[in-house]
Amino acid sequence: MGVASGLVIDWDAQPDTSSWNALTADGYYTNHDPVNGNTLFAADVMVRPGFQGQGIGRRLYERGRLGLARQLGLWRVVAGSRLRGYARYADKLSAQQYVDEVVAGRLNDPTLSFQLHLGFRVTAVIGDYFKGDPESLGWAAIIEWINDEVDQGTARTK
């Protein structure tokens, strides 16, 4: 009733981190690098409508993503959170202002608020991440979760 996919990437060797297409090799995941990679890039997650709000997304994240990062000794999990609620505010707020409001809890975004609730933090807000998406207008918040079970100094340069 839900699915999540991701790949391990060597973030510093990744030539382009500016869009979902670049980070997933246009969706083919051929940049998956389990030997040198230090970051789990959480590329996709979805729970079937009608089954949302029942804890499936939490399990996909906690077991499938954070659990996998712990198991593999990865430094962190990174995702691009498509700002699904942004289009409704775009005439009033910049994307950065929208994200600030969501982080402060004054606005709720259907995806970003869920991810913040699970312990992620926003590191950047970028445009042209999902070109042509009418809900986000292409904007995404880059979010990360740091694996505190690994030594950050060594894991980061693995």
**Smallest gap from residue 13 Cβ to ligand COA (A):** 24
**Residue 142 near residue 125 (C-beta atoms within 8 A):** yes
CB contact burial 43-80 (16+ within 10 A = b; e otherwise)? bebebeeeeeeeebbeebbeebbbebbeeeebbbbbbb
Contact letters for ligand COA, residues 3-42 (x by CB under 6 A): ----------------------------------------
With residues binned 3-state (H G I as helix, E B as strand, rest as coil), the percentages for the chain, rounded to 5, are 30, 25, 45
Contact letters for ligand COA, residues 113-152 (x by CB under 6 A): xx--x-----------------------------------
56, 74, 107, 125: residue in contact with ligand COA (rule CB under 6 A): 56
Residues of this chain that interact with ligand COA (CB under 6 A) are: 45-47, 52-58, 81-82, 84, 108, 110-111, 113-114, 117
